[in-house]
Amino acid sequence: MSSLPYIPLDEDFNLNIALLIILIHTLSKNRNDVLLLDRNKIQIFLYLIKNPSKLEAVMILAGKKNISIDMTETYTIKSLSLNVDILFSNQKIKTLLKKLSILGWLRVTKSDGASYFSLTTQGEGAYDQFGGEYFNSVKTYTKSLDKIKSLTSNKLNSILNEVFKVSK
């Protein structure tokens, strides 16, 4: 009898695609329609969406209005661990972005040597399909990132480093 492999929810490909669609929909542009999301920011924001307890600390250190994180998100084994793999896994992000592109859901705009990501009309249609308690909480966390989406990747990394120092 062979046992089925255990796949941690964090590693589920389709779930990560859904999170990425929500992230890009919500954070790709500022109010003047200037594109903001490059691959580095996507990595940082995806980490924060998956780790709401760190999101709360980042918002505090950024001097932004604190968001309310459910206790079930902050006092768990996952929230206490410092699993930062997604921050350094360029291949994982590239694979997710490639999948969105193959589906025709991702628009890539190059400007000043950088690539910025937004959703196509089809990608926006996919976003509209995500409902339910889990995705609504993800959308809430992602909307809270709106307050820091204009910060540079370097500034976001600096804030995250401070969060990690405090977490140790």
> What whole-number distance in Å separates Cα of residue 156 and Cα of residue 29?
17
Higher pLDDT, 144 or 86: 144
Is 3 within the bounds of a domain?
no
Percent of the chain with pLDDT over 90: 58
132-159 mean pLDDT:
92
| Domain annotation covers residue 97 | yes
Q: 16: how many CB neighbours lie within 10 A of its CB?
A: 20
Do the domain assignments include residue 158? yes
Q: Is residue 151 part of a domain?
A: yes
pLDDT for 79 equals 47
Tokens of 66: 């604190």
Question: Is residue 52 within 8 Å of 141, Cβ to Cβ?
Answer: yes
Residue 30 maps to a domain: yes
Number of alpha carbons in the 13 Å side-chain half-sphere of residue 77: 0
CA 63 to mean position of chain CA atoms: 20
DSSP-derived letter for residue 68 is P
pLDDT of res. 71:
55
DSSP secondary structure letters along 135-161: HHHHHHHHHHGGGTTTS-HHHHHHHHH
- Tens of pLDDT along 56-109? 888 888 888 766 666 555 545 454 555 666 666 788 999 999 999 999 999 999
Collapsing DSSP to helix, strand or coil, 29 comes out as strand
pLDDT tens per residue across span 11-40: 788 999 999 999 999 999 999 999 999 999
Residue 12 has a pLDDT of 83
For residue 86, give its domain range. Answer: 11-167
What pLDDT shows up at residue 28? 96
Residue 163 belongs to some domain of the structure: yes
Whole-number pLDDT of residue 1: 56
Residue 4 lies in a domain: no
Number of domains in the chain: 1
Predicted structure pTM score: 0.85
Indicate the angle between helix axes 13-27 and 133-144, nearest 10 degrees.
40
Cα atoms in the 13 Å half-sphere on the side-chain side of 41: 25
Max alpha carbon distance in the chain (Å)?
59
69 is a domain residue: yes
The pLDDT, as a whole number, for residue 53 is 81
